[in-house]
Structure 1
Amino acid sequence: MTGRRRTRSTFLPALTRPVRALRAAGALLACASLAAGCGIVPGFAGGVGDGPITVMTWAPQDTNATNKPGMPALALAYARHVNASGGINGRELKVVICNDRNDSVDAARCARRAVEEKVVAVVGSYSQFTDTFFPILEGAGIPYIGGYGITNAEFTSPLSYPVNGGQPALLAGLGRQLAGGCGPVALVRPDTIAGDELPHLINSGLEAGGHQDAADLRAAEDATEFSAQSQQALAQATTDAAEPGCVVPALGDRTNTFMDSFRRARQDYPEVRLGTVLGSVDQTVLDATGGASSPYEGAYITGWYPVETDKRWDGMKRVIREQAFTDTRIDPADAGVQTTWIAYTVLAAVVKALGDNEVSSDTVRRTLDNGFKVTTGGLTPTLRWQFQDVLSSVGLPRLVNTDVTLQVVRGGQLVAARQGSIDVTETLRGADDRG
């Protein structure tokens, strides 16, 4: 294979350099005060006194790649819900929506609009292009609460407040899950710089479970079919196997393309199972690929949150039912929708804590930075962001939620594979040792 393309990976841009290299991000921690010396100016007030509290939610819509229309749609439904009940602390919540179109120019345009609208935060959003929008938000002192967790900057920027563990946590957790249920494991991943980090993450989980490392199979990032990789993966997953092995496609938005080839090749290896992470596969993908007859039937999947049928989502579902019943963009099983719900839970908690004080990007940011704790009804552990968190040493200082849930596809439905969640903090540290 010829030289690697240093292009953005939609699966794991969060680790575009070896994990150890991310320790350089520790320099950001010197800006703990978020003072002007770090290029951050005092925040805007999103409405003073009884005026509205203005925030923004952005996500790609109507593109030929990843689309997350349910995230801004849920944000609007959430605003209607709180405003119907008198707002937050008696203040109207105003949500500004922006479409980043999976484009760096549009992502920067959304950030500039956030500055123009004087939003107090960007909440529950999805974008791959943190390299273009974070400098703008940081320059204006606008916090980014609850991004989707797909870029390195979301776990290093002092203005980022992620609510999940991103792709690093999911892959480390998947390795832990597969170690107890699979024979040989074969990983199919992009032949990119970002892709080079995937074996370290999944192998750290496999090793924690006493399992041998996964076979590492590379594919061109822009491949349009994966017949060769499917055959190789299936052969590796059955090599000297006392029990059937597992294949892990870690190809981002190319995963469905891989599955077209895998479905055909798998006919000769019916016992081989799949493993993947939420974001590559969700309930909408299962429904679209045949439900119980989907090639994902029996697959192991790791996620950030409890399964959609869990009662802890009842509050979100009630808001969807009451405020967006006919809005087909909002799928309560979508991880993006769930992330937006949790992000707005964080925002509401901060605004309530401010009471009669000014609500601005500055006061929201300072509240979060001063050890403020947010509970989310059990959907995540208690969230608190500090400048020296447990994963600072591996270059992920803003990663505060290291819990992942273990799920399996049964009858075409994502169901919990075990009760509760697992903490992958030590597994992620192990990935650093292997990097």
Structure 2
Amino acid sequence: GFHFGSPLTDPDNLAGITAATKAINDAGGINGRPLVIKTCSDNNDVNQATICARKAIDDSDVLSLIDVGSSYGDAYTPLLEKASLANLGDLPSGKADQNSTISFPLYGGTFTTIVSATAAIKHLDAKKIGVPYVGIPAGAQLPPFIKRIVEPMGGSVVGVQAIPITATDYSSFAAKEIADKPDVIVDGLTADMYTKFIRAVRQQGGTDIKFLASTGVFDVGQIAKLFPGDKNIYMVEQYDHTAPGYQHFLQDMDKYNKSYPNRNDGATSGWLGTYAFAQGIKALIDSGKTEPTRADFVQYLNKQTNFDVEGLTGGINFTKPNTSLGGGTPRVFNDRVWLSHVEGDKATPLNGGKPFSLFLED
């Protein structure tokens, strides 16, 4: 397998990949063969992302990409298509990730934030949704998508602003957001950026504004330490934290990567993508394909109607295209999110612990 991400998604994803790889190999690998995951970073640069893709393509040992966290899929996906190289568990942030037949995301990516806005309207009585976002192409997708979804529900999008990754002073961004009077602010920033943004809003008196924090970059322990006593922070979970797979993830992290401090869903994604790859390759070998090819793996994935790892995703049908948002994102197969309220160092599930989705269920 081959993983490449960016400074925005790693090292969390890599931490999960490391734990899962060690656990799988400790248990005998894949039918006795050791699992090897090679890595690369795009350094937030489209040219470097393409270099990473070419490294994977040129390495004959690589059967699939795993949990790619780059937002430059539009540049390198055509290369993957020519090589019949699957992109399993990728961040579906661009048109190529959301449309290519070699793209197999296991979570919603940008959709996680979009769906969280609808959850806020339904369960937090929100009308105005604040949308600050990272000033990169993937971030710019958020405001128009969220506007399209929340307006029919009686909501509106406010506080739309692109924040540069290099920003250090957040006071002006916070002032603009507060002036637009959002009821809820969605998480379209990195962990470090969102932390600075929340603190700046609170320091300027925006204490009643609710913040949705993505578990893709935060876990409940981090939030409790970063914002002690804050009663207006809610977690948006990418995976079902009540599933057996989540406990398995935590156990593997504690055993094989205990020193890594975070247990967020970025790390879960890396763990999940690794196990999903191993699960698929094992299924191919067990079916008689003792030396599976890249094309075999793509074909296998495209036939799966209930692909899951120990309940984490709720089951994904790779044969059923996403028809929400006008059908422009057919490869976003799983847009489920779970919402919970942070109280101290615990997260209390909302909606009876049931997921929210635009595509799969109401």
TM-score tier (shorter): 0.7 to 0.9
Gaps in structure 2 of 5+ consecutive residues? none
Output the CA distance in 1 between the equivalents of 2:141 and 2:47.
Answer: 27
2:220 touches 2:342 (CA, 8 Å); kept in 1?
no
Q: For the structure 1 residues 321 and 250, does the alpha-carbon distance in structure 2 shift closer, same or farther, using more than 3 Å as the test?
A: closer
Cross-structure match for 2:96: 153
Q: For the structure 1 residues 108 and 140, does the alpha-carbon distance in structure 2 shift closer, same or farther, using more than 3 Å as the test?
A: same
1:168 CA displacement = 2.2
Q: For the structure 1 residues 392 and 367, does the alpha-carbon distance in structure 2 shift closer, same or farther, using more than 3 Å as the test?
A: farther
Count of matched residue positions in the alignment of Structure 1 and Structure 2: 354
1:113 CA displacement = 1.8
1:376 CA displacement = 2.2
1:282 CA displacement = 4.3
Output the CA distance in 2 between the equivalents of 1:142 and 1:69.
Answer: 24
Q: For the structure 1 residues 420 and 180, does the alpha-carbon distance in structure 2 shift closer, same or farther, using more than 3 Å as the test?
A: closer
Identity among equivalent pairs (%): 21
Instruction: Indicate which of 160, 174, 177 corresponds to 1:233.
Output: 177
Deviations 1:131-190 (A, max 9, x none): 333233222211110013333322112111000111124323323323432454241435
Output the CA distance in 2 between the equivalents of 1:137 and 1:369.
Answer: 15
Output the CA distance in 2 between the equivalents of 1:86 and 1:194.
Answer: 39
1:204 CA displacement = 5.0
Cross-structure match for 1:328: 260
Cross-structure match for 1:246: 184
Deviations 1:174-224 (A, max 9, x none): 23323432454241435888666434433455456x543233443564655
For structure 1, which segment, 345-354 or 179-188, has the greater mean C-alpha deviation from structure 2 after superposition? 179-188
2:245 touches 2:310 (CA, 8 Å); kept in 1?
yes
Deviations 1:389-409 (A, max 9, x none): 534952111111121111222
What is the correspondence of 1:236-275 to structure 2 with a 5 Å cutoff? 236-237=180-181, 245-248=183-186, 250-252=188-190, 254-266=193-205, 269-275=206-212
Output the CA distance in 2 between the equivalents of 1:77 and 1:263.
Answer: 36
1:77 CA displacement = 2.9
Gaps in structure 1 of 5+ consecutive residues? 1-54, 239-244, 429-435
Q: For the structure 1 residues 83 and 228, does the alpha-carbon distance in structure 2 shift closer, same or farther, using more than 3 Å as the test?
A: closer
1:171 touches 1:198 (CA, 8 Å); kept in 2?
yes
Letter in 1 for 2:340: Q
Larger radius of gyration: 1
1:58 touches 1:72 (CA, 8 Å); kept in 2?
no
Cross-structure match for 1:337: 267
Cross-structure match for 2:49: 107
Cross-structure match for 2:2: 56
Q: For the structure 1 residues 280 and 150, does the alpha-carbon distance in structure 2 shift closer, same or farther, using more than 3 Å as the test?
A: farther
1:71 touches 1:340 (CA, 8 Å); kept in 2?
yes
Output the CA distance in 2 between the equivalents of 1:280 and 1:300.
Answer: 13
Instruction: Indicate which of 291, 304, 312 corresponds to 2:238.
Output: 304
What is the correspondence of 1:23-422 to structure 2 with a 5 Å cutoff? 55-60=1-6, 66-118=8-60, 119-189=62-132, 197-207=141-151, 210-218=153-161, 221=164, 224-237=168-181, 245-248=183-186, 250-252=188-190, 254-266=193-205, 269-279=206-216, 281-283=218-220, 285-286=222-223, 289-290=226-227, 292-293=228-229, 297-307=231-241, 311-325=244-258, 327-328=259-260, 331=262, 333-354=263-284, 355=286, 356-357=288-289, 358-371=291-304, 373-386=306-319, 388-391=321-324, 393-418=326-351, 419-422=353-356
Q: Indicate the RMSD between aligned Cα atoms, in angstroms.
A: 3.2
2:71 touches 2:137 (CA, 8 Å); kept in 1?
no
Q: TM-score, normalised by structure 1?
A: 0.71
Letter in 2 for 1:175: T
Letter in 2 for 1:364: F
Output the CA distance in 2 between the equivalents of 1:161 and 1:248.
Answer: 25
Deviations 1:363-391 (A, max 9, x none): 11111123453222221121231374534
For structure 1, which segment, 167-176 or 181-190, has the greater mean C-alpha deviation from structure 2 after superposition? 181-190
Q: For the structure 1 residues 236 and 339, does the alpha-carbon distance in structure 2 shift closer, same or farther, using more than 3 Å as the test?
A: same
Q: For the structure 1 residues 188 and 280, does the alpha-carbon distance in structure 2 shift closer, same or farther, using more than 3 Å as the test?
A: farther
Deviations 1:1-51 (A, max 9, x none): xxxxxxxxxxxxxxxxxxxxxxxxxxxxxxxxxxxxxxxxxxxxxxxxxxx
Q: TM-score, normalised by structure 2?
A: 0.83
Deviations 1:271-300 (A, max 9, x none): 33223444465446525524x24x5x4223
Q: For the structure 1 residues 130 and 137, does the alpha-carbon distance in structure 2 shift closer, same or farther, using more than 3 Å as the test?
A: same
1:306 CA displacement = 2.7
SS, match of residue 89 in structure 1:
coil
